[in-house]
Amino acid sequence: MKKEYIYLKHISKKFNESYVLRDVNATLYEGEILGFLGPSGAGKTTTIKILTGQLEQTSGEANVLGIPCHNIDESIYEQIGIVTDQSGVYERMSIYDNLKYFAKILGVKYSYIDELLKKVGLYEHKKKLAGKLSKGQKQRLILARAILHNPKVLFLDEPTSGLDPTTALEIHKLLLELKENGMSIFLTTHNMEEATKLCDHVALLNEGVIVEYGTPKDICLRYNKERKYKILLENKEEILLIHNDKNIMMLNQWLLNNQVVSIHSCEPTLETVFLEVTGRELQ
């Protein structure tokens, strides 16, 4: 049975008289990626701050690695890594020296730095000053610093926001490798396509409330109220078929006649589910 690395039960957070989180429940298991999805202001960053001991919840129970979040001390940072929009680098130091500085603090062997730089695609730039890096390179350096000590849990707050598609794909690949090696990842994003690709479970968060929770596939199928299929025939004709007996017989005939080039089911995406449940766009 997998270990529970993060546990949220009936978490609420109130600033003044306004709730930014209300009755939030979620679990992150060892070697999984849990996504908190929603637009800006949904409560995603507040959740990370509670889980990392930067804020205390108003009510409910929050644990990381078995430690109540309100009792977290500095020793927890030996077991977790954090990437947020506040994460910075020492711009007057080289890439290598940035990691060397934190390796000394975290007790990591310097010999591991080159290996890690190769993994994040920065080895050839290791002598470059951090202040001279592109946004994508800087984000990879911040991620490298966060995983330098091989933490059990990695917190990522919008890690690919503003990055070009190629750099985002490289980071996705690295995150999946980290997951395969047993690291647990708590990811916040407003990119539903990213979440579908990476996450084992997702929570759709709107105005501090989880409106849906489950695997991306299960959530989408839950809202697949009318089954449809997009068919491309050999004559380049594209047809949208609703699932009924007449159309299935037609499709079978096309298949028997070898006329079908492709078939795609048309279940909703996480983004369309979010729109249906909340009535609002993600951006």
* pLDDT tens column, 128-148: 999 999 988 998 999 999 999
pLDDT reported for residue 34: 97
Instruction: Report the pLDDT value the prediction gives residue 87, as an integer from 0 to 100.
Output: 77
Rounded Cα gap, residues 236 and 135, in angstroms: 42
Closest CA to 155 of 146, 163, 168: 146
Chain centroid, CA 116 distance in Å? 21
Task: Kindly state the average pLDDT of the residues 49-74.
Answer: 92
Q: Are 188 and 35 in contact (CB under 8 A)?
A: yes
Beta 228-233 vs 80-83: how paired, if at all? unpaired
Average pLDDT of every residue of the chain: 91
At 17, the pLDDT band (50, 70, 90 cuts) reads confident
Mean pLDDT over 78-99 rounds to 90
Is the pLDDT assigned to residue 282 strictly greater than 80? no
Task: Classify 2 in phi/psi space as left (phi over 0), alpha (psi -120 to 50) or beta.
Answer: beta
% of the chain with per-residue pLDDT over 90: 55
Residue-wise pLDDT for 156-192, tens only, equals: 998 888 888 888 898 899 999 999 999 999 999 988 8
Please, are residues 188 and 48 in contact by the beta-carbon 8 Å criterion? yes
Distinct helix (H) and strand (E) counts, the chain: 9, 13
Query: How many whole angstroms separate alpha carbon 32 and alpha carbon 13?
Result: 26
Q: Exposed, middle or buried, 233 (CB in 10 Å: 0-12/13-18/19+)?
A: middle
Question: At residue 283, does pLDDT exceed 70?
Answer: no
Q: SS3 of 221, please?
A: helix
